[in-house]
Structure 1
Amino acid sequence: MIRRYLSMLLVGIVVFSHSYLAQAGAIDEAVRRGVLKVGTTPTYVPFEMTDKRGRIIGFEIDLLREMSKALGVKLKLVSVAYTELVPGLMASQFDMIGSGMTVTQERNLQLNFSDSFIIVGQTVLIHPRLAGLVDGIEDLNEAGYRIVATDGTTGEAAAKRFLGTAQLRSFPTAEEAVRQVVEGRADAFIHDAPYNLIAITRPENSQLLALEQPFTYEPLAFGLKKGDYDSLNWINHFLNQIAQDGTYDRLHDKWFKNMDWLGEID
């Protein structure tokens, strides 16, 4: 009887252990593994981008490096196309998404999001021939205008929402879409304000005009699998901590006030 009881107890412990491991969240797994794996698309200046040496750098990347340091683990960035971020997370190719992702109701049905680490909005870059003709987003909602955006982004969604009458084409990267406007094959580009403000400082885009007033409200956050509340709790406390100790302000100034890093990218 005692032997049977001990055997059942051992089975129960094994089942509990497997159940615990199955429920372990992304942060727990990263600590166990010693590596935090983050899915990102390094084409969103200045949040995540590739420098001349092939390294992924940026404001959000620095936040992730601070996060990894606080966890005591290494950071591994997994570069995928933007449209592959959610499928990649669901397939456990990485622990979380850190890629300038806007919290939307649609995405929130698939993911859990951390607290926002910055608020952005959509703005418009237009071809110089539209000077004096276009003063706001509503002026572009005509059948004759050609609008470009980036695949899978909230810029694409905003263009569909606000510019349903215009012609819309989407491209894999923001750089390709902007080039369409520069070369006169499109009239306007819709994308997040930080990217657009920096894009027009580049020599090849210097002739473009910017409608700088954002016409949407978009919080950016880290994405995790549904139900991973322990990881969300840790990340939210981490974001609060770096906001209080000055780390966030230091990194924000590095990427949004000091433009020295522009020389590091192509």
Structure 2
Amino acid sequence: GLKQICERGKIIVGMAPEYKPFEFKNKKGEIVGFDVDTAKKVAEILEVELEIKTYKWDKLMPALEKREIDIIISGMSRTLKRAKKVNFTDSYFKTGQVVLVSKKRANLGRYEELDKKGMRIGFVKKTTGEDVAKKYFKNVDIVPFDGETNATKALLKNKIDGFVIDKVFTDFFIKQNPDAKVLVGQLSKEDYCFAVCQGNSDLLIWLNYFIQESKSTGFFSTLYKRWFIEQAWK
């Protein structure tokens, strides 16, 4: 809990660093992004050291359950299914799932047009993208990936026809790959939250205060400007 973190003098945060601009490796191999700056701020206010442990996406929740980490800050959407295993804070970012296509399918308008035999739809395993893909696409071949990097490579090589992913990710991807586009229609509305171990109420309450204060002081707005608008990190 919170007391142990303060006594230890260190907070251990879990991330899956394949998700621009929330957490990713820059050209120097450092992990940077919106969530990294958020984690640094948490550590700074708690007056403890920050340690970031990195995992593949589907290993993040098990790491928290095994208490290898204190908290997940990694663009994770709060769902009722996940909340059976971990406790979520209030929302710090709002997003939703959309379908990203490459130049090959850029003639399509709405996402429904992809739902036919012979089409291949990708998603990252154990994400809300997987849940949404299975819900909306009944006639396609669905293709799981272990992270955004391999999924987008497959999309650009036309190995898949569409990739179900959070809208914020696509804004970036399209700036770097202008031939790609998002099909019309958002498939879900989601909240990104921090996750902590079940029963860790003191840490949960403190983090909710942190989120509330970060919104009211403009801290999150500053981060949004830095990572989404200025993009000085490129």
Q: TM-score, normalised by structure 2?
A: 0.95
Deviation of 1:107 after TM superposition, in Å, equals 0.2
1:142 partnered with 2:120: no
* Residues 1:173 and 2:147 are matched in the alignment: yes
Distance in 2 (CA, whole Å) between partners of 1:213 and 1:139 is: 11
Show structure 1 runs of 5+ residues with no match: 1-24
Quote the residue 2:225 is aligned against: 253
Q: Secondary structure in 1 aligned to 2:38?
A: helix
Specify which of 223, 229, 234 is matched with residue 201 of structure 2: 229
Quote how far apart the aligned CAs of 1:68 are.
Answer: 0.7
Output the aligned Cα RMSD. 1.3
Higher fraction of helix: 1
Q: How does 1:1-266 map to 2 (within 5 A)?
A: 25=1, 27-132=2-107, 134-202=108-176, 205-211=177-183, 213-261=185-233, 263=234
1:16-37 CA distance string (max 9 Å, x none):
xxxxxxxxx1x22211111100
1:175-231, Cα deviation, whole Å (9 max, x unpaired): 2111112111111111011111101221xx332222265321010000011111111
Are the equivalent residues in 1 in contact too, given 2:65–2:85 (CA < 8 A)? no
* Larger radius of gyration between Structure 1 and Structure 2: 1
Identity between Structure 1 and Structure 2 (%): 30
- Matches of 2:224 and 2:105 in 1, distance apart? 33
1:133-190 Cα offsets, whole Å, 9 max, x none, are: x322222221221111112211122111111221111111212111112111111111
One-letter amino acid of the structure 2 residue matched with residue 228 of structure 1: N
Alignment check: 8 A CA contact 1:193 1:212 kept: no
Distance change in 2, residues 1:175/1:36 (3 Å): same
Aligned equivalents of 1:102, 1:39: Cα separation in 2: 15
Secondary structure at 1:142 match in 2: coil
- Cα deviation for residue 255 of structure 1 reads 1.0
Q: How high is the TM-score relative to the length of structure 1? A: 0.84
SS for the counterpart of 1:49 is strand
Which segments of structure 1 move beyond 3 Å, counting only runs of 4 or more? Answer: none
> Where in structure 2 are there 5+ consecutive unaligned residues?
none
